[in-house]
Structure 1
Amino acid sequence: MSRWERVRLGDVCDFINGDRGKNYPTADEFIVEGIPFINAGHISNNAIDFSDMNYISEEKYNKLGSGKLINNDIVYCLRGSLGKHAIVSINSGAIASSLVIIRPNTAIISSKYLTYCMDSIQFIEQQKKANNGSSQPNLSAKSVKLFEVPLPLLDEQNHITDALDIAAKLLSLRKEQLAELDNLIKSTFHEMFGDPVRNEKEWLVEKLKGITTKIGSGATPKGGKESYHNEGICLIRSMNVHNGVFKYDQLAHLDDEQATQLDNVIVKANDILINITGASVARSCIVPTDVLPARVNQHVSIVRVKEEKGTSEYINKLFTTDSFQNFLLAIGGAGGATREAITKHQLQELDIPLPPLPLQNQFAEIVAKIEEQKVFVKKAIDETQQLFDSLMSEYFDE
């Protein structure tokens, strides 16, 4: 429980709207270099992303009647991406009309402490209640001024931000470590096998249909998602299949009768799953054994590799290389269809470079060792996330 007095933001911060008048910059007034003009799309992970920034001239900036930034201001999104926020570390800049500048009274509250407050459950709940948008989320600066935050003394605020900074940094390092392990698998594949589309190592090439015992997708049971169950036989959908990763969120379940109707798409250990329709087309992973028994719906295809021809680790990694992903996406978007799709025939006719099986097995062994390390890192990430969340709860929740 928060042990400090709670205050309204409007009592400890100034709020500055963007200029909405005739001097508001138009797209043709943006220039390559100049003064940053920040919109909601430039806020990412609580930071300002300058990689695709809009800039205005100093002359245009001087004409603005409002919405001018100074160092340590907080930009806060009022529309669309509701509640996105970031501290600015620039001496001059301006904001789009979808944002508001929150300028803390630094004699009372620090910008860094306030941004952590904005990430708390309590603050997010206030945002949800104040949202007055219908089709598009929408807040007013007037309503945000009424949001309350706990207000310890500045020394205590600094102690809180230091503790949260350490936990956040540790979490970031753990995630970087996980990414490095993924990159190690990627670089090992390219070192051993080269690019699968160019096939510069001149491996023997076979059609996918010639190296598999099954290529096929399933269906959605009658009644759609309303007919799913909380337990039973798993139904794997496209949202579960990501490149190299199986996501357990929203994993559906079927009863025995529903599953029997999909017995032609029983998933087996080491099967490769590939999305064949929709925005996630071409995403691919190996099914984890802990979801078996399972079936797939019509948006996911099973690819079952002949053991004497190849390994699932090799084929799945081939599918998820950048070059082969681009190739699959080009197939999926071809033909002028309104929705991306890869047909069974197109999968069957894919040209697959086939290195010698012992080399594929060697790669699979390397992947297995790296995956073991990833398990430990993921556990460390979960533990660090729990630490961060418990600190946030201790400092900010009632």
Structure 2
Amino acid sequence: MVRTTDLENNNFEQGVNYISETAYKFLSKSKVYGGEIIMNKIGSAGKIYLMPCLKRPVSLGMNAFMLRLNENMNTLFAYFYLTTKFGVWQISKRVKGAVTKTIRKDAVRAIPIIVPPINLQNQFAEKIGLIEQQKKLAKQELQESEDLFNCLLQKAFKGELFSHP
């Protein structure tokens, strides 16, 4: 069972909650496969997440909504729209409660969303996909550079960088 804490920490391995196969089958409406938009109901109410593909059966925890979109909406476009300053502001206007913040389904349904033609939304999603690939590659290259630097640093401290005649 994926909880918003798991999504917030991007941790789907340690300290996760499991449910029985019977419960998983019973909770058919809360099955998630990856790519869904998830919204926190309580606590950090209105916080938006994009569900990663975990390649195993997963059900959504109790304190979250899965936003189901119609065929006129690209999920990635909607996710980025809802995480803009305007989207966050629209959501925060609908969050209630002084101590424990909550948001209800009807409030979520009332959030205005612009709906450009689906081909433009799909183009946006493709560009985002390319950017995400470039970011992943850049992170990998940065890690490799840091590993190389640390290796050279160790050799320098041990006096192994220069050969002595």
Give the TM-score category using the shorter length.
0.7 to 0.9
Amino acid at match of 1:301: F
**What is the match of residue 7 of structure 2?**
241
Mapped to 2, the partners of 1:388 and 1:257 lie a distance apart of 51
Runs of 4+ aligned structure 1 residues displaced above 6 Å come to 387-392
2:93 to 330, 335, 347: 330
Contact 1:271 1:305 in 2 (8 A): no
Report the structure, 1 or 2, having the larger helix content: 2
- Opposite residue 259 of structure 1, the aligned amino acid is Y
Alignment partner, residue 361 of structure 1: 122
Match of 1:373 among 108, 120, 134: 134
Decide whether the 8 Å contact of 1:318 with 1:324 is kept in 2.
Answer: yes
Q: Give the equivalent residue in structure 2 for 1:275.
A: 40
Q: Quick one: distance in 2 between partners of 1:321 and 1:339?
A: 24
Write out per-residue CA displacement over residues 161-198 of structure 1, whole angstroms, 9 at most, x where no aligned residue: xxxxxxxxxxxxxxxxxxxxxxxxxxxxxxxxxxxxxx
Residue 330 of structure 1, CA deviation: 3.1
Report the 3-state secondary structure (helix = DSSP H, G, I; strand = E; otherwise coil) of the residue aligned with 2:68: strand
Q: 1:351 to 1:380 in 2, by over 3 A?
A: same
Distance 1:384 1:253 in 2: 38
Normalising by structure 2, what TM-score?
0.76
TM-score using structure 1 length: 0.34
- DSSP 3-state at the match of 2:49: strand
What is the alpha-carbon distance in structure 2 between the residues aligned to residue 347 and residue 385 of structure 1? 44
* Pairing partner for 1:256 from 21, 24, 47: 21
Measure how far apart 1:291 and its partner are.
4.6
CA contact (8 A) 1:269 1:288 kept: yes
Counterparts of 2:114 and 2:90, CA distance in 1: 14
Structure 2 gaps of 5+ residues are: 158-165
Secondary structure of 2:81's counterpart equals helix
Question: Which amino acid counterpart does residue 268 of structure 1 have in structure 2?
Answer: Y
Q: Does 1:265 align with 2:30?
A: yes
The structure in which a higher percent of residues are strand is 1
List per-residue Cα deviations over 1:50-106 (Å, max 9, x = no partner). Answer: xxxxxxxxxxxxxxxxxxxxxxxxxxxxxxxxxxxxxxxxxxxxxxxxxxxxxxxxx
1:345 to 106, 112, 116: 106
Measured in 1, the distance between the counterparts of 2:47 and 2:56 equals: 20
The count of residues paired between Structure 1 and Structure 2 equals: 152
Contact kept? 2:91, 2:108, Cα under 8 Å: no
Classify 1:381/1:239 alpha carbon distance in 2 versus 1 (closer, same or farther; 3 Å).
Answer: farther
Q: Do residues 317 (structure 1) and 80 (structure 2) align?
A: yes
Question: SS state of the match for residue 340, structure 1?
Answer: coil
Q: CA deviation at 1:358?
A: 1.0
C-alpha contact 2:41 2:65 (8 A) present in aligned 1: yes
Aligned counterparts, 1:1-398, within 5 A: 235-242=1-8, 247-248=10-11, 250-278=15-43, 280-307=44-71, 309-332=72-95, 334=96, 336-383=97-144
- 2:150, 2:19 → 1: CA distance? 34
Task: Give how far 1:387 is off.
Answer: 6.2
Q: Where in structure 1 are there 5+ consecutive unaligned residues?
A: 1-234
Larger radius of gyration: 1
Give the AA of the match of 1:256: E
Measured on the aligned residues, the alpha-carbon RMSD in Å equals 2.7
Higher RCO by CA contacts (8 Å cutoff, separation 6 or greater): 2
Conserved? CA contact 2:90–2:111, under 8 Å: no
